[in-house]
Structure 1
């Protein structure tokens, strides 16, 4: 996770649990608290990165791995996490994810070194890969009809509130208590969620639970994405030979993953979905758009804190308008998609997002927030708000109903993978230099280059929309969900 974001879609398959209806009153408290763990942690880590870097005297590459270690495990294992929930029960996997995340968070807070902190972030990501698919699955299995819609709406509203308040609250913790406190707040929240989760009814296995878990596919995803990230980060440090070899090794592993998925009895990624041009296009848009957003939101706090001397609290609060626009505007945009379809918003939204990145890039040298950063953040927020609901609609409309959960999982992973690769490539903009050795002008120049690169990715996603998204009949849009972790 690299900042406050919404995912295009995060909706599981629906299976009914065994147990009394009375126990469903604990579902929302448990899932809201459990889901908020990864989001709160992820949204405040970027604000805390300068403090963590100063504490350990770490390099830019280390800071990249603090973010990417988490995203690598989450992006790679989130599809397997859904299958594991189907196999062993979503309540059980949700509880395991809570415990794992709490233990990893304690490890992060007590980390004696940057290497230890990265290891614990890997464990956090693996735990979040169990929490994310289980949270909404528990809600969908506990409610039916209109009650399900209201429950998901309540869950999404709580996520939007967390999205808005997480960065400024995390920044305040960094300023007043220290960066370790952003990890120490997770175990108490997990404990309360665990208390509620124990009260949930046990759920049965799904129809496909007897199929084997796709462990080979999951392993190949971790290896290929991990080597790709390592190669990009090493190249950004100036180790071009090592970086090139790692990237070269990642390519055949990625190809082997496709072969394995094509032959698997129960693949984590159903390749048949990509036969639909709209589905392929929507996922391509997702990768590009979230790569742009992740890269921009990774570096923005560094510029605010290191160059313009904002406090961590102020840097977190700077993102508040962006978060509010996305949290409040998505419902209106969903109605717009119902009226005019997804194609036009999927072209206009990314273009507006790209314009916002250009504004941020041009204004980066100005320290004033109201004229220097707020206009660009508002435009980026409006552009993303125009983009997310149509992505949700397109993904679900282009997949058969029986594969809606798989389709949303693929799109979820695509968003995280796009951010993962983008953050790994950030070092290339610094030309092998370290943040600690760069003056304000050099950091600002790198920031401008990254913002313009993000604008290019957003514009490319609009082109992909124009070339791939067809004029489907308009269907009801599903409420977008806050990004977890």
Structure 2
């Protein structure tokens, strides 16, 4: 099947625009010890600072990605991508020059705001430009490179920390953004949909609700779980999240269209996403910290240790995406997470030495194989469950679910480890990670329905996902 020059350019732009957002979700992980050493101080330090540097980004990214899908549909994908890229570049510079921990946390939150504009618009560009099996293949390639960005992040970050400074973790975004903006000029502009509105109240309820709950999870160990400073934010945050769901049921143009969850593959796919991406965030966070802070790896070697997963993703994701487009996603979404979970169970062999050939490498290889089986079929199944005119919000919902699951599990890291990372607490975190991955596979087995050879955007666009509902 021939791919046009425009399609190649759109795919490259979509990959690059999402690449910086995904990369910054993980590239910072190996820099956390260096950041804590330099910027830790009164009020925020140690594990709490490390968690906030990760979660400040994920809170705004996850909560605003939903409304960003609507913004993309209202104002046009190219325009929103441009604004997001410029904003991400400015926020990256602010992170790079941050003089204190709180300033860095605020800059990371601003990075998340801009990053939220990138992923939904990028995927929506692919959905609008490709169709049929070519769309599944394009999604597979997008998944390979963007997820590869998440996995290669620790290696890139480690090199920069060891040979330059942790601040270069943020400076590297600037040239990538400049190239993407230059290429984006040749992508035709798409008009926004008339009559659509941005759900500002919904965005506020989601963002502040998530922030309250995450604040309690991160600071509970330090301030005390019964402290008013913890109880009040958690209760208020939970109430705002409940209010958010209730408001979405009656909003004229909701940022989270609950009608999409009446489509079986969309609903079950997002449940599986919650478990799988929660596991990936928790596992990546604790493995990277353990290798440096307990096993004594340098930042560079910590990143190199996780490169087998990157190689597997780049080599295999597009292939598994094509197979899922041909045979349906259910088998891959079931087996893949279970294999990935087995990889984390193999890492239970790790002790204080983390001897790489026998204790680290086998688990990384098996995890990489399972992840490669999972991600492209999962993305294709969920996006294939919604009609093309809902592509922006559909991709936004799925990416928001994955980011929110990640930020909650990183916030839970202190609870799981008891605030101290040693061999025993690390093993507990590995067991939780493997358990979540297995749950993700079982959810896919129970809920996903495959339609081999079907058009990934669904054969019937007369209503939200009706074609898939009929096929299921």
Q: TM-score range by the shorter chain?
A: 0.7 to 0.9
Q: 2: distance between equivalents of 1:267 and 1:364?
A: 49
Other-structure match for 1:454: 433
The partner residue of 2:316 within 318, 321, 329 is: 329
- Greater shift in the superposed pair: 104-113 or 389-398: 389-398
The partner residue of 2:218 within 233, 243, 265 is: 233
Q: 1: distance between equivalents of 2:199 and 2:283?
A: 34
CA deviation vs aligned residue, 1:343-397 (integer Å, no higher than 9, x gap): 3433332222222222213324342111111111122222222322442343245
**Aligned 8 A contact 1:393 1:477 in 2:** no
Sort the Cα spacing of 1:323 and 1:477 in 2 relative to 1 into closer, same or farther, 3 A.
Answer: farther
- Alignment partner of 1:468 is 2:447: yes
Once the 2 structures are TM-superposed, how far is the Cα of residue 139 of structure 1 from its aligned partner?
Answer: 5.0
- Greater shift in the superposed pair: 380-389 or 123-132: 380-389
**Aligned 8 A contact 1:237 1:427 in 2:** no
Other-structure match for 1:363: 350
Other-structure match for 1:3: none
Other-structure match for 1:18: none
CA deviation vs aligned residue, 1:41-98 (integer Å, no higher than 9, x gap): 3331111111111112322111111111111111111121122223223222222112
Other-structure match for 2:104: 117
Structure 1 vs Structure 2 CA RMSD: 2.9
Other-structure match for 1:379: 366
- Structure number with greater CO (CA < 8 Å, separation at least 6) is 1
- Greater shift in the superposed pair: 424-433 or 410-419: 424-433
Please show how residues 156-167 of structure 1 align to structure 2 within 5 Å: 158-159=145-146, 162=149, 165-167=152-154
**Aligned 8 A contact 2:137 2:322 in 1:** no
**Aligned 8 A contact 1:337 1:390 in 2:** yes
Q: 1: distance between equivalents of 2:126 and 2:137?
A: 10
Once the 2 structures are TM-superposed, how far is the Cα of residue 25 of structure 1 from its aligned partner?
Answer: 8.1
- Greater shift in the superposed pair: 259-268 or 165-174: 165-174
The partner residue of 1:211 within 174, 188, 196 is: 196
- Greater shift in the superposed pair: 244-253 or 309-318: 244-253
**Aligned 8 A contact 2:11 2:142 in 1:** yes
Other-structure match for 1:427: 414
Sort the Cα spacing of 1:194 and 1:122 in 2 relative to 1 into closer, same or farther, 3 A.
Answer: same
- Alignment partner of 1:284 is 2:271: yes
What is the TM-score when the length of structure 1 is the normalising length? 0.83
Other-structure match for 1:43: 26
CA deviation vs aligned residue, 1:279-336 (integer Å, no higher than 9, x gap): 3222111101111111010111111111222111111111110122122222333354
Q: 2: distance between equivalents of 1:346 and 1:251?
A: 31
Q: 2: distance between equivalents of 1:229 and 1:336?
A: 38
Sort the Cα spacing of 1:386 and 1:444 in 2 relative to 1 into closer, same or farther, 3 A.
Answer: same
Q: 2: distance between equivalents of 1:465 and 1:30?
A: 31
- Alignment partner of 1:55 is 2:42: no
Q: 1: distance between equivalents of 2:330 and 2:12?
A: 37
**Aligned 8 A contact 1:69 1:118 in 2:** yes
Q: 1: distance between equivalents of 2:324 and 2:134?
A: 23
CA deviation vs aligned residue, 1:84-142 (integer Å, no higher than 9, x gap): 22322322222211211111111111100010000000110100111222234445556
Q: 1: distance between equivalents of 2:157 and 2:181?
A: 23
* SS across alignment from 1:240: coil
Q: 2: distance between equivalents of 1:139 and 1:351?
A: 29
* SS across alignment from 1:374: helix
Please show how residues 383-394 of structure 1 align to structure 2 within 5 Å: 383-394=370-381
Corresponding pairs, count: 448
Q: 1: distance between equivalents of 2:377 and 2:92?
A: 35
Sort the Cα spacing of 1:101 and 1:328 in 2 relative to 1 into closer, same or farther, 3 A.
Answer: same
Once the 2 structures are TM-superposed, how far is the Cα of residue 26 of structure 1 from its aligned partner?
Answer: 6.2
Q: 2: distance between equivalents of 1:161 and 1:417?
A: 20
- Greater shift in the superposed pair: 141-150 or 173-182: 141-150
Q: 1: distance between equivalents of 2:6 and 2:363?
A: 46
**Aligned 8 A contact 1:236 1:426 in 2:** no
**Aligned 8 A contact 2:132 2:455 in 1:** no
- Greater shift in the superposed pair: 168-177 or 290-299: 168-177
**Aligned 8 A contact 2:128 2:388 in 1:** no
5+ unaligned residues in a row in structure 2: which ranges? 458-472
**Aligned 8 A contact 1:364 1:447 in 2:** no
Sort the Cα spacing of 1:266 and 1:118 in 2 relative to 1 into closer, same or farther, 3 A.
Answer: same
What is the TM-score when the length of structure 2 is the normalising length? 0.85
5+ unaligned residues in a row in structure 1: which ranges? 1-20, 434-441, 480-485
Other-structure match for 1:97: 84
Once the 2 structures are TM-superposed, how far is the Cα of residue 24 of structure 1 from its aligned partner?
Answer: 8.2
Q: 1: distance between equivalents of 2:131 and 2:154?
A: 34
* SS across alignment from 1:111: coil
* SS across alignment from 1:237: helix
